[in-house]
Amino acid sequence: MTRPTGKWHGAAFLLLGLSCLQSARFLSLSNVLVIVILLLCLSGFSAHSKLPEIWIRWSEGLFSLVRPIGAIQTFNALTLQKEPGSSNKSEQLRKLFAVLFPAVFLVVIFGWLLGAGNAVLGKWNAEFLSALFEYLSSIELPDLRHFIWWMLFAAIALILVCPPKAGFLSNKLAQTWRQFGTSTDRLRLHQWWVCLGALNLLFLLSNVTDVVFLWFSRELPTGIYHSDYVHQGVYALIATTVLSAMIMALLTQHHEVVSRNRGIRSLTFLWMLQNAILISGVYMRLWMYVDAYGYTPKRVYVALFLALVIVGYGLLGWAIYRHKNIKWLIGANLILIFSYFSVLQFVDVPKWVSRQNIDLYQAQKISYPEALFLHQIGSHSVPFLISINERPQSAEDQQNALQDLDQQMLSQAHFQRAGWRGYQLRDGLNYQVLTEFKKSKPLSQP
């Protein structure tokens, strides 16, 4: 395995170190994804430096994780094959394992099959399994999340130690991709004219509806709620993103008679403009929901996702304008998505949401939050609830805040029992505030 060099690898190792430090501040989905992706990509780049494009080498590390056959081959190479200098005893153990493992595997399979057709064997199997399950239930097993994490860690370590050969998919990605159509293919040109024209008419109808009911009239139609309107907008945006990606991918792979046709390009840019109007409508839907009920981490993530989509559309437009191929488009979007998660892992969204809602509550623009919101912001509920207790809108809100702080005490006890493995600096600081509050003031009254 060659040693990775260059500025990209140095930047990747630097980001990996920062991401590991960030996991001690507070762990998030973005943080876990960045760490796992960096480990896999670095392993793929190290093992497959002969592949032409850099992004294909990096993607090979991701492909290796989803190739169970490659993992089995790696395990076989590490356990069954004799290596130079190995002792006869180790060779005998390898042969013994190679002989016994198939036999044990077949006995288990056929024992289950025969037990299903033989009442006596079935009874014995049931008694054996019952005793086995009773024994296993008496053993204190680790948390399932920890088990999954360590299994993933073991899989990554196996790939780093003994990476598999380049897979079929990465070899195909490294080849030159065939273009669609020829210089005399007028049928495809007409197909694109009709498809883009129909899409523009469809999105025009959707955008006119948004302008009428959303831009000029802030009142929703009867029977439509804010949450439904926001969610419908997000679903439409996701469908639009997939549709646009498919269309752009196909368009960039066509012959110049289609991809560089002035009319086709004009219709495509018009369609992208209509998508921008659709995104603006989704932003307005989201703002209406926030204006009515306040911020939540999920609503902020939706807004960030919309921003990601806007940049993605910019890449799509640039690919058409500069006649980029599908490989460039895929690589650019992969870099965009990875950069998005890399930056997001350092942003404490629940903390920002908590501070914003404190201001909104003190201004009496939102009411006392639901339990689901407190669950989403986690330990940041502590300063949020303390602020409500100090300046409540009503006596009932003050009592509810004290009761919810009682629940946070249970979360603090669970946090303390988790020990160093589950320690998060963010939670530790918030629960320290709760400890100081408990010393200065009694909690809820019966």
Residue 98 has pLDDT above 70, yes or no: no
Q: What is the mean pLDDT of residues 49-77?
A: 59
Q: Between these two residues, 13 and 311, which has the higher pLDDT value?
A: 311
Q: What is the mean pLDDT of residues 183-199?
A: 79
Q: What is the mean pLDDT of residues 173-191?
A: 71
Lowest mean pLDDT, pick from 28-42, 44-58, 310-324, 407-421: 44-58
What Cα–Cα distance (Å) separates residue 136 from each residue in 104, 130, 131, 146, 322?
20, 10, 9, 18, 62
pLDDT digits (tens, 9 = 90+) for 193-209: 888 888 888 888 877 87
Q: What is the pLDDT of residue 406?
A: 83
Separation CA 97–CA 385 (nearest Å) = 60
Q: How many helices (H) and strands (E) does the chain have?
A: 19, 0
Lowest mean pLDDT, pick from 68-77, 182-191, 232-241, 395-404: 68-77
Q: What is the pLDDT of residue 1?
A: 37
Residue 153 has pLDDT above 80, yes or no: no
Separation CA 334–CA 321 (nearest Å) = 20
Q: What is the mean pLDDT of residues 24-44?
A: 81
- Greatest mean pLDDT range, 47-51, 112-116, 345-349: 345-349
> For all residues of the chain together, what is the average pLDDT?
75
377-380 contacts: CB < 8 A, separation 24 or more? Answer: 377/297, 377/350, 377/351, 377/353, 378/350, 378/427, 379/408, 379/411, 379/415, 379/426, 379/427, 379/430, 379/431, 380/350, 380/351, 380/353, 380/354, 380/426, 380/430
DSSP three-state, residue 249:
helix
DSSP β-bridge partners for residue 92? none
Lowest mean pLDDT, pick from 81-85, 136-140, 283-287: 81-85
Separation CA 309–CA 330 (nearest Å) = 14
pLDDT digits (tens, 9 = 90+) for 327-381: 888 888 888 998 999 999 999 999 999 999 888 888 888 888 888 888 888 888 8
Q: What is the pLDDT of residue 351?
A: 92
The model's pTM: 0.68
pLDDT digits (tens, 9 = 90+) for 395-428: 888 888 888 888 888 787 777 776 766 778 888 8
Q: What is the pLDDT of residue 3?
A: 45
Q: What is the pLDDT of residue 159?
A: 61
Confidence of residue 121 (pLDDT cuts 50, 70, 90): low
List the structure tokens of 197: 């024209």
Confidence of residue 15 (pLDDT cuts 50, 70, 90): confident
pLDDT digits (tens, 9 = 90+) for 231-287: 666 667 777 777 777 777 778 777 777 778 888 888 888 888 888 888 887 787 788
CB of 310 within 8 A of CB of 241?
no
Separation CA 293–CA 296 (nearest Å) = 9
